[in-house]
Amino acid sequence: MRLVTVLFTLALSACALRPPQPVPDLNGQCEHYYRAMDDTVARHAAGDAGAWRLPGYPHLRSTRFLAAFRERALDAEQTRDWLQHLQTVDRDARSLELARLPAAARDALLAHAPFDAAHAAALARCAEVLIERDLAHPERLASIRIRSRVPDHYRDWRRILGVYPVSQLIARSAINSLHERLAAEFESPLETLPVQGELHRYTPPAAPALAPAALAGILREARDNPLHIPRPGPAQRRQLLNYYAPIWEFDQLTDDDWIGAIRYDADRRAHYVDTAAPVVYQWISHTLFHAEPLLQLNYLVWLPARTAQSATDIYAGAFDGLIWRVTLLPDGTPLAFDSVHPCGCYYLLFTGERSAARETGNVAEPVLNPQRLPALRPGQRLVVRARAGDHYIQRVYPDRAGRGTVYRMTGYADLLATPGDDGRAHNLFDETGLLGASARPERYLLWPFGIVSPGAMRQAGTLAIAFVGVRHFDDARLLEQLIELIE
């Protein structure tokens, strides 16, 4: 017994003499991992401009919609949900940035990961660690609220140098004149609309029709979260996007009037539009309508170019497109529809059966609301018709024929990580969100309005849509400012 006591005493002494093992600083290691990744992404010009990086919080990125929640009093559960939304935006952006890196650079980053795992798993674990630290420190949460605000995509110094108070009066006059011409075309009977070439239709893939009750059920289930943000699962997202997908009808006069897929040719070292493969790029977004988060369905088509109408046409150039957006009320009824070209130009608002346009007053740029769209039968689609050359929308009307070339539907992320023949993924846009190959001569004339490279195609999240005032396609309260609900 005495021997056992002696041995036990010696063991305790050994433990006492052994230096304490350091506790891993996971916060510091994770931040180092994020910094190493950001440095590598910057070195290879692989950054993504679609969301705002929160300074000092590398695991979080914000959008204009999410930034709107900074103004609310959130309880603990809602705060955690909000942070997880900000983190999801960062996760999605980082997955694209990693895909754009050379394989060697991507693999080398694993040496900085604090967890023995692939990048996706290591980033997920680090996000958990850092979010728990955020939640444990009120001062960090207060800082996140401040820094989540997304800066606008206007340059004040350009407006100052361009004598904006005077130039905006000229812009307002030109915009009013354009709106008058477009509105006159919308007011003419459909059968009298001019056709320069031949009308061609693109239709979405066939899919089972959804009953109104089924649509409402999908959205009700999608809102079952602390912030009531509609977040449909992958299958439900596909159902909704297919159900509301429009039929595109183009007046095809030249090769510039055919829609296609974005490809990357390593030999040409550039993106181009492959019109042999008609594709519609789609994504979901959100807006607030009187504090209610609503789901938005976005559809984008690309065309090779905007055709020059004359030798001095400053608006013509490579690449053109159209975005069509559907905003849904909680029961699945469309609140409104709107459209814009990927340059942020020619924004149009189409009210629905349950909405009416507001007066925007004289402060901001006027918005054209050329049509109020009727209610559709279950499964009936809208036809979006555009004219040749400049691809302005001429009319939106309920489909009656349903025939045309079937297009393929794919995610917007395919534009941000287009496979190339060199084995890498390539972003259609640069790190500022611009498609440089689409720059227009108009940028030399319209720079005083504060928009960088007016007329050039832009990444979602960077679309400034007004020359007068400040307005973005993804402003959280854009529709709330432009329309009112009719009960």
Q: Which residue has the tokens 């045309």?
A: 404
Residue 356 maps to a domain: yes
Q: Indicate whether 16 belongs to any domain.
A: no
Instruction: Taking residues 424-446, report their average pLDDT.
Output: 95
Q: CA–CA separation, 54 vs 33, rounded Å?
A: 16
Has residue 93 got a pLDDT over 90?
Answer: yes
Whether residues 142 and 291 fall in one domain: no
**Residue where a domain stops, chosen among 87, 114, 147:** 147
Q: Is 340 left (phi over 0), alpha (psi -120 to 50) or beta?
A: beta
**Each residue of 189-223: pLDDT tens digit?**
999 999 999 999 999 998 888 889 999 999 999 99
pLDDT digits (tens, 9 = 90+) for 419-434: 877 778 999 999 999 9
**Pair 163, 119 in one domain:** no
Q: Is residue 92 over pLDDT 90? A: yes
pLDDT > 70: percent of the chain:
94
- Residue among 145, 33, 137 nearest 83 (CA): 145
The predicted pLDDT at position 17 comes to 42
Residue 453 lies in a domain: yes
Q: Is 179 found in the same domain as 50?
A: no
Give the burial class of 360: count Cβ atoms within 10 A of its Cβ; 0-12 exposed, 13-18 middle, 19 or more buried: middle
Among candidate residues 108, 130, 147, the one where a domain is terminated? 147
Residues 141 and 173 grouped into a single domain? no
In a domain, 20, yes or no: no
Q: Mean of the per-residue pLDDT values for the chain?
A: 92
Same domain, 191 and 78: no
Q: State both tokens at 469.
A: 């005032």
Q: Give the model's pLDDT for residue 2.
A: 43
The answer to the question of residue 13 being in a domain is no
If asked whether residues 208 and 62 sit together in one domain, one would say no
**Which of the listed residues 96, 130, 147 is the one where a domain comes to its end?**
147
* pTM of the complete model: 0.93
Q: Are residues 107 and 182 in the same domain?
A: no
- Indicate whether 274 pLDDT > 70: yes
pLDDT at 21: 43
**Distances in Å between the alpha carbon of 223 and those of 93, 229, 245, 376, 412?**
24, 5, 22, 24, 23
Q: Give the other-Cβ count within 10 Å of 285's Cβ.
A: 19
Residue 363 confidence (pLDDT): 57
pLDDT 10s digits, 94-126: 999 999 999 999 999 999 999 988 999 999 999
With 50 as the cut, is the pLDDT of residue 224 above it? yes
Q: How many domains does the chain have?
A: 2
Q: Could you give the count of Cα atoms lying within 13 Å of 38 in the half-sphere of its Cβ?
A: 16
Tell me what pLDDT residue 207 has.
Answer: 83
Q: Report yes or no on 19 lying in a domain.
A: no
Judged by phi (left if over 0) then psi (alpha if -120 to 50, else beta), residue 282 lies in beta
> pLDDT tens digits for 347-373?
999 999 999 998 765 557 899 999 999
Q: Mean pLDDT across the stretch 239-266?
A: 95
Statement: residue 10 has pLDDT above 90: no
Q: Are residues 234 and 204 in the same domain?
A: yes
**Of 5-19, 173-187, 258-272, minimum mean pLDDT range:** 5-19
Which structural domain, as residue segments, surrounds residue 114?
Answer: 26-147
- Does the pLDDT value for residue 62 go beyond 50? yes
pLDDT digits (tens, 9 = 90+) for 133-177: 999 999 999 999 999 999 999 999 898 888 888 888 888 889 999
Q: Tell me, what's the pLDDT at 283? A: 98
1 lies in some domain: no
Has residue 15 got a pLDDT over 60? Answer: no
| 177 and 107, same domain (yes or no) | no
Is there a domain that residue 4 lies in?
Answer: no
Query: 333 and 419 in one domain?
Result: yes
Q: Cβ distance 344 to 353 under 8 Å?
A: no
Cα gap 329→354, rounded to integer Å:
10
pLDDT tens across 320-349, in order? Answer: 999 999 999 999 999 999 999 999 999 999
Q: Is the pLDDT of residue 11 over 60?
A: no
Does position 3 have pLDDT exceeding 60, yes or no? Answer: no
Q: What is the pLDDT of residue 401?
A: 80
Specify the pLDDT at position 335. 96
Structure confidence at residue 1 (pLDDT): 42
317 φ, ψ (degrees, to nearest 5):
160, 175
DSSP string for 325-382? EEEE-TTS-EEEEEEE-TTS-S-EEEE-TTEEEPP-TTTSPP-EEEEEPPP--TT--E
Residue 209 is predicted with a pLDDT of 82
Q: Are residues 138 and 233 in the same domain?
A: no
Q: pLDDT tens digits for 369-387?
A: 999 999 998 889 999 999 9
What's the pLDDT at 141? 97
Residue 5 has pLDDT above 90, yes or no: no
Give the pLDDT score at 4: 39
- Judgement on whether residues 234 and 302 belong to the same structural domain of the protein: yes
